Homo-oligomer: A and B are copies of this chain.
Amino acid sequence: MTERYKDITIVNGKYNIDILESNNPIFVCVISYTETSEIPGITVAGANKDLIKYTSSADAEFLYYGRCKCINGVPATPDGKPTPAIITKTMLNIGNIPFIVVDSGVKIKPDIPLFSFNLRSGKNISDNIAMESEEVEKAYRYGLILGKQLSKSHDLVILGESIPGGTTTALGVMLSLGIDAENKMSSSMPENPHKLKNTLIRKSMKKSNIAFGSLKNKPFDAISLFGDPMIPSVTGIAQGIIENGGRVMLAGGTQMCCILSILKSLKVKTDKVFIGTTKYIFNDHSADFTNLVLSIDDNVGIVISDLHLIESTKLGLKAFANGFVKEGVGAGGVSIATMINANGKLNGETLLKYIEREYEKTIEKKFTLNEINI
């Protein structure tokens, strides 16, 4: 930690935060869907089963408009804890950071212009393979193309995701790659349903005759069997950037560990890869984020933002510090980029005020139409 950035911490001591400075960062949000999310108890993203398929598209609309179009209100837990897109949007506005949304197989098309990878949604891995091999290959190939283009203009790309149920599919992929991720995955709920996830994945692996680590060198097979469309898309984008000399910040929690494990399996250099997330993932005692990252690659910089949500007067935001939601839609990584962009003039406490204002405008509905920012 340096004084200038009091609310950013690099966990592993090798790096100084200056390494993340950038003149022209961009945020890429990959939205996707897996039917695995429809298994009861897997996700809290979306107030009920019917709403789950709207979650990632509503998040994407929220980033552009500050409100959603495909649903009334904003994505939230049944008792009103909001999507982390609230944080992401606030940061993108403050930092004037450009962003694009990539459609990697959503069920409901959001009412925004988006980068389409023209993919089908992922299947429920308890009774199907997740994706056809051709779809995995296409997602990865399109990702490489997009990553190459992005790296021509941007020296830092922040990659985030929104896919309900994504930690479960990520667990399946990592176990088949030989990464011991059991009981280490985060959840959007404080009562982390490890048992449900573990049982589901073990059954799926058994069904396909896959043991722990037996797809160590076949990451695309692992994705096809147990993954989701977000995983090969983000992997391709990241690799496309890295191979063209750019830096990547994987913005998220344990799902991004899955991306890292595939990059390692593909022997992609990771010296310009960082994982950026929130303090709430880092401190999640129901998971084991840091050791999971280090078990995959102890060279990758782990960067943590503290947004002081524990001090918020808004209960829906304070809940993030108490084990709910915690991260998603690139919230942690984009916060880090915003603080660095501001050269330390904005810290977690000042940013909290802006997040609370966004919360008032959307959750507490004090906004007026002419404040909506396109």
Contacting B at CB under 8 A, from A182-234, are: none
Q: Is the interface of A mostly helix, strand, loop or mixed?
A: mixed
* Chain B contacts for A153, CB-based, 8 A: 24, 26, 98, 153-154
Among the stretches A106-114, A280-288, A325-333, the one at the interface with B is A106-114
* Chain B contacts for A150, CB-based, 8 A: 98
Contact of A146 among B103, B113, B141, B145 (CB under 8 A): B113
Among the stretches A115-123, A161-169, A255-263, the one at the interface with B is A115-123
A145 touches B98 (CB 8 A): no
- Known A-B contacts A98-B149, A374-B148; the reply to A112 vs B142 at CB < 8 A is yes
- Asked if A100 CB lies within 8 Å of chain B CBs, one says yes
Number of interface residues of A (CB under 8 A): 31
- Known A-B contacts A103-B116, A116-B113, A153-B26; the reply to A144 vs B97 at CB < 8 A is no
Encoded as 1 (CB less than 8 Å from any B CB) or 0, chain A from 135 to 146 comes to 000000111111
A145 touches B24 (CB 8 A): no
A98 touches B152 (CB 8 A): yes
- Asked if A33 CB lies within 8 Å of chain B CBs, one says no
* Chain B contacts for A152, CB-based, 8 A: 96-98
- Asked if A15 CB lies within 8 Å of chain B CBs, one says no
Task: Report 23 cross-chain contacts, Cβ distance below 8 Å, ordered by A residue.
Answer: A24-B24, A24-B153, A26-B153, A98-B149, A98-B150, A100-B115, A102-B113, A103-B116, A109-B118, A112-B142, A113-B115, A113-B116, A113-B117, A113-B118, A113-B143, A113-B145, A113-B146, A114-B115, A114-B116, A115-B115, A116-B116, A145-B374, A153-B153
> CB within 8 Å of B: which residues of A?
24, 26, 64, 96-100, 102-103, 109, 112-118, 141-146, 148-150, 152-154, 374
